[in-house]
Amino acid sequence: MKTLIKRNVLLYFRDKTNIFFSMLAVLIIIVLFALFLRLGNWGSTEIRDTWLMAGVLSVAAITTSMGAFEIVISDRINKTAKGFYASPVSRGKITAAYIISPFIAGTIMTAVTAIGFGIYIVATGGEMPGAVGLIQLAGLILLSNITGTAILCLIVSLIKSMSAWNTIGTIIGTLSGFLMGVYAPMGILPNAVQTAMVLFPPFHSAMLFRQILMERPIQAAYLATHGELDTAHIKEIWGVTYSFGDFGVTPIMSVCYLVAAGVLFFGISVVNMRRLER
């Protein structure tokens, strides 16, 4: 099992083209932000940079795992997986290895993205969270990749060709930025769009990332001049928090939603993958 995990992870990192395309959605977001979204008077530079970082990390947790899952599809199409299933290793361990590999690759890439973005923010005069915030950030990177891997695992269990996987990958890469509120602050979007975003599990990753990364910039920029009430309204506009009427979605609720989504999608995908092994 360990050998198969190592093999899959190494195959991903050796394929520079695959790495590039798995990070393409992130690169597009950064380029669009630099060219267009950064313009205008809508928050301080530090608020915009941390807002972008939160969105980039939530998208990276999906797209980088997606690139690693390409190996699973390739092995299935090339009948390589059948050779593994014919070995003395149990089918359950082989299936687990195919699931764990994208999670490891995605977590590494998301962590590298977080470190790189954090260095940029500090180098440009911004401020990163304290020790507790950084621990929360690391934990959220793990949780985001678990949920992202679970969602993609379900999709992979239904895919039978590389062309179909590439099409799905294009759709996910395109929609993920919109559904996570990366291209525009959530509060300026129609209510129907906001509801759709909240139902999308990775959106909660983006919201939690914003709560960790944007707390200090928002407090510094708005609290002294606007007060607690207006600051809470500003957080909803930026997608840092969300409320259904008077009912606010708490961080614990978002974490539970991510965990529940991960368990549900993993459960369905394992059933489908075992069916395909027969």
Convert the pLDDT of each residue in 84-105 to its tens digit: 666 767 777 888 888 899 999 9
Look up the domain containing 229 and give its range: 2-277
Q: How far is CA 154 from CA 69, 121, 274, in A?
A: 11, 35, 12
Nearest 5 degrees, angle CA 146-CA 112-CA 59?
A: 50
Residues linked to residue 38 through DSSP beta bridges, in sequence order:
none
Are residues 58 and 144 in contact, defined by beta-carbon separation less than 8 angstroms?
yes
Burial of 93 by CB count in 10 Å (0-12 exposed, 13-18 middle, 19+ buried)?
A: middle
What is the pLDDT at residue 140?
Answer: 96
- Residue 126 CB contacts under 8 Å (≥ 6 apart), including other chains: 45, 46, 49, 50, 217
- Residue 204 CB contacts under 8 Å (≥ 6 apart), including other chains: 198, 254, 255, 257, 258
DSSP notation for 82-149:
HHHHTSSS-HHHHHHHHHHHHHHHHHHHHHHHHHHHHHHHHHTT-----HHHHHHHHHHHHHHHHHHH
Confidence of residue 81 (pLDDT cuts 50, 70, 90): low
Q: Give the count of domains, the chain.
A: 1
pLDDT tens per residue, range 186-208: 888 888 888 889 999 999 999 99
- Region 120-124: mean pLDDT is 90
Are residues 1 and 97 in contact, defined by beta-carbon separation less than 8 angstroms?
yes
What is the pLDDT at residue 41?
Answer: 58
